[in-house]
């Protein structure tokens, strides 16, 4: 039986409580500006994004992995480049960028006024290895709602962790889950993680999202 748990709580508060280098691996997407409320400004969102990323980098194990699937935004005619922010923060925290791949959000040739038609799929680690070569561009996948993680990105990330997990040995003080998603939404990442036979911890501040995810993941336990 594959172990999983969904916690309905503030992810930033949860991250603050975790010891340094105690989380085996992260697969996640930090929420978009439009998911945080109408009063969120670019400056306040940048602070939220930075605080969250730093919390993830602080808490992951040195030989663990932080995998992000992020879509940029166009705000007042300017591109909000999440891949640049993440890689800059990663380097400041002593991490290496192992790979940078693209997940298509729309078919090639399609356009979108407010955001690019692709997501960044980024992998970071302090001492983990990049693994075998995999495709650099992933096709359009299914999404359970507009801001959800594309299924193709979630599947690729879960498969990558699965191929690396045998090299990791958890210590007694480590969090007893293979993969954590601090912004679980409706559980797309959890589904593919558990399909790989890995244990999963997801967090979300929205009770409705948590309930949807719990019901979905029961099928994979």
Q: Is the pLDDT of residue 145 over 90?
A: no
> Quick one: average pLDDT of 19-31?
96
Q: How many residues does the chain have?
A: 221
Q: What is the pLDDT of residues 199-210, one digit of tens each?
A: 999 999 999 999
Task: Note the pLDDT of residue 13.
Answer: 97
Task: Please provide the DSSP assignment of 140-172 as one string.
Answer: ----SSTTSPPHHHHHHHHHHHHHHGGG----T
Could you give the CA distance from residue 84 to residue 99 in angstroms, rounded to a whole number? Answer: 13
Q: Is the pLDDT of residue 158 over 90?
A: yes
Backbone dihedral region for residue 109 (phi beyond 0: left; psi -120 to 50: alpha; all else: beta): left
Task: Please provide the DSSP assignment of 55-107 as one string.
Answer: HHHHHEEEEEEEEEEE--EEETTEEE-HHHHHHHHHHHTT-EEEEEEEEESS-
| Helix %, strand %, coil % of the chain (to 5) | 35, 25, 40
Residue at token pair 């930090």 = 30
**pTM (whole model) above 0.85:** yes
Give the 3-state secondary structure of residue 133: coil
Could you give the CA distance from residue 176 to residue 55 in angstroms, rounded to a whole number? Answer: 18
Q: Is the pLDDT of residue 163 over 70?
A: yes
What is the residue extent of each domain of the chain?
Answer: 4-165+173-220
- pLDDT above 70 covers what percent of the chain? 97
Supply 200's token pair.
């999963």
11 touches 51 (CB < 8 A): no
Task: Note the pLDDT of residue 12.
Answer: 97
> CATH assignment of 4-165+173-220?
3.40.50.150
Task: Note the pLDDT of residue 84.
Answer: 97
Task: Note the pLDDT of residue 69.
Answer: 98
């Amino acid at each position: 039986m594959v172990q999983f748990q969904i916690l309905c709580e503030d992810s930033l508060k949860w991250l603050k409580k975790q010891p340094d280098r105690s989380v085996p691996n992260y697969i996640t997407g930090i929420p978009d500006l439009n998911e945080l409320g109408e009063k969120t400004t670019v400056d306040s969102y940048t602070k939220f994004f930075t605080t969250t990323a730093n919390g993830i980098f602080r808490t992951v194990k040195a030989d663990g992995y932080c995998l992000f699937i992020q879509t940029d935004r166009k705000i007042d005619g300017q591109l909000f480049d999440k891949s640049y922010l993440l890689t800059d923060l990663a380097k400041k925290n002593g991490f290496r960028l192992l790979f940078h791949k693209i997940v298509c959000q729309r078919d090639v040739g399609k356009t979108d006024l407010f955001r690019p038609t692709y997501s960044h799929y980024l992998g970071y680690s302090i001492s983990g290895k990049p693994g075998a070569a995999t495709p650099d561009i992933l096709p359009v996948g299914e999404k359970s709602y507009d801001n959800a993680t594309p299924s193709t990105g979630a599947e690729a990330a879960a498969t990558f962790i699965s191929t690396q997990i045998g090299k990791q040995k958890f210590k007694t003080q480590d969090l007893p889950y293979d993969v954590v998603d601090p912004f679980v939404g409706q559980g797309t990442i959890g589904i593919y993680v558990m399909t790989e036979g890995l244990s999963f911890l997801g967090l979300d501040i929205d009770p409705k999202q948590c309930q949807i995810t719990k019901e979905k993941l029961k099928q994979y336990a």
